[in-house]
Chain A
Amino acid sequence: MHLNSLMEDTNITITIIDREDVSHEIEVPTDMNLNVMETAKASDLPVEGTCGGMALCASCHCYVTSSHELPQASDDEEDMLDQAFFVESNSRLGCQIKITQEVDGLVVKLAPVD
């Protein structure tokens, strides 16, 4: 484990709700340049992350269900969401949500897979 991640003040907690509606509370360091897709994969949650985080597939599509004000989706992200299904107004690509102090307490739900 990364040394800094042992220090409490760099960690945040996010909740990922899987497709069976089970909540997974995950403690995750903010100093490793991680995103929600990578966090889910590292916790063995069923997220493909096919393109590796380039916003070039939609396999990490999720819904943000907490009230966090996230940075607006880029054009690239919106373009990919056009190719996803079950898109709602709170849809995002997990790979485009960076793990920072600002998203402490974030709750996301994994979108259905096609």
Chain B
Amino acid sequence: MIKTDILIIGAGPVGLFTVFEAGLLKLKCHLIDVLPQVGGQLSEIYPKKPIYDIPGYPSVLAGDLVDNLMEQIAPFKPGFTLGEKASEITKNAEGNFQLTTDKGTTIVAPVIAIAGGLGCFTPRKPPIESIDKYEDNGIDYMVRDPEKYRDKEILIAGGGDSALDWTIELADVAKKITLVHRRNSFRGALDSVDKVMALAQSGKIDLVTEAQAIGLKGDDKLTHVTVKTKEATNDLSVDYFIPLFGLTPKLGPIAEWGLNITKGSIEVDTTDYSTNVDGIYAIGDINSYPGKLKLILCGFHEGTLMVQSAFKRIYPDQKLSFKYTTVSGVNAFE
């Protein structure tokens, strides 16, 4: 079990910077994120895009901003639980929150800050009838262990990097691979495209382009995927179907925590960005209040004010005197 002062859900820019502001008040933070890396949208959606409205940076690449934030918060030794989804919260006997992730990690903290951005990045599911039925019964939205597919017949759908990379990687593992793609050109790294083309030419994989998976067949377990091309519609025999269409943010389990949510955003009081649940705050793109702007810079401000309130909540009897970093510096944690 992990214990901390502030449990931050979401390791995007706002969650990361909150560690710094909490650190100045000697509060420890632990961050949890469903993505395997820190940075949220900045790392997942646009790492190579420049951002022009971070004060003091005429231009900064999103990925560089994340790297800088990680350097800035390093003195405060934050903990990270990455690649896990916050799924359930309960209160323990001492009145602290106990959060459990989808992989069973538990984290205990008196304060939770939800910095979840647009929500939790989840794989895009193709809108094929009865797709839910075959999840974990022949359909995987990500490849966890390539060995699972040894000597199996698999069908991969998608045209991006992950579809190409897994086709290449699994070509030597699986018995048969069919790659189905909407167009006859691919995005993704040129090198990967070349490799896939070579695999197709040598007959190691079946490449079906200008095609779409439109149907699923089987009993308890998936046995066939219906693939429609310009010319024909065929049922292909498969052991596994792996649709790889990227990730899309969804609010996820947070919606079940009794918070006031309007249009996918959590309502907060702008005095301290507290939610209607005592001890839970919401900062950054995930909150809403009159005049809200979804900007990184606004999220930084929200996190800064929020930790002041969190401090008073955690140490109701202690006086908090505000200190400028220029005066007292940054005192790293032991």
Distance in angstroms from A32 CB to nearest chain B CB is 18
- Please determine whether A78 and B126 come into contact, CB atoms closer than 8 angstroms: no
Distance in angstroms from A12 CB to nearest chain B CB is 27
Partner of B46, one of A56, A82, A114: A56
Please give the number of chain A residues whose Cβ is less than 8 angstroms from any Cβ of chain B in the complex: 17
- Which of A3-11, A17-25, A83-91, A99-107 is near enough to bind chain B? A83-91
Interface assignment of A70: CB less than 8 Å from any CB of chain B: no
Task: Report whether over half of chain A's contact residues are helix, strand or loop; otherwise say mixed.
Answer: loop
**Which residues of chain B come closer than 8 Å to A114, judged between CB atoms?**
124-127, 248
**Which residues of chain B come closer than 8 Å to A81, judged between CB atoms?**
182
- Please determine whether B248 and A57 come into contact, CB atoms closer than 8 angstroms: yes
- Please determine whether B46 and A83 come into contact, CB atoms closer than 8 angstroms: no
For chain B, residues 181 to 206, give those with C-beta under 8 angstroms from any C-beta of chain A.
181-183, 185, 187
The residue in chain A whose Cβ has the minimal distance to the Cβ of B294 is A52
**A57-B248, A78-B187 known; A50 vs B127 contact (CB < 8 Å):** no
For chain B, residues 237 to 261, give those with C-beta under 8 angstroms from any C-beta of chain A.
245-246, 248-249
**Which residues of chain A come closer than 8 Å to B124, judged between CB atoms?**
83, 85, 114
Interface assignment of A79: CB less than 8 Å from any CB of chain B: yes
**Which residues of chain B come closer than 8 Å to A54, judged between CB atoms?**
45-46, 49
- Please determine whether B46 and A112 come into contact, CB atoms closer than 8 angstroms: no
Known: A57-B248, A78-B185. 9 other contacts (CB 8 A): A56-B45, A59-B248, A78-B187, A82-B159, A82-B187, A82-B245, A85-B127, A87-B182, A114-B125
- Please determine whether A82 and B160 come into contact, CB atoms closer than 8 angstroms: yes
For chain A, residues 33 to 60, give those with C-beta under 8 angstroms from any C-beta of chain B.
50-51, 54, 56-57, 59
Interface string of B42-59 (1 = CB under 8 A from A): 000110010000000000
Interface assignment of A75: CB less than 8 Å from any CB of chain B: yes
Q: How far is the CA of A59 from the CA of B248 in the complex (A)?
A: 9
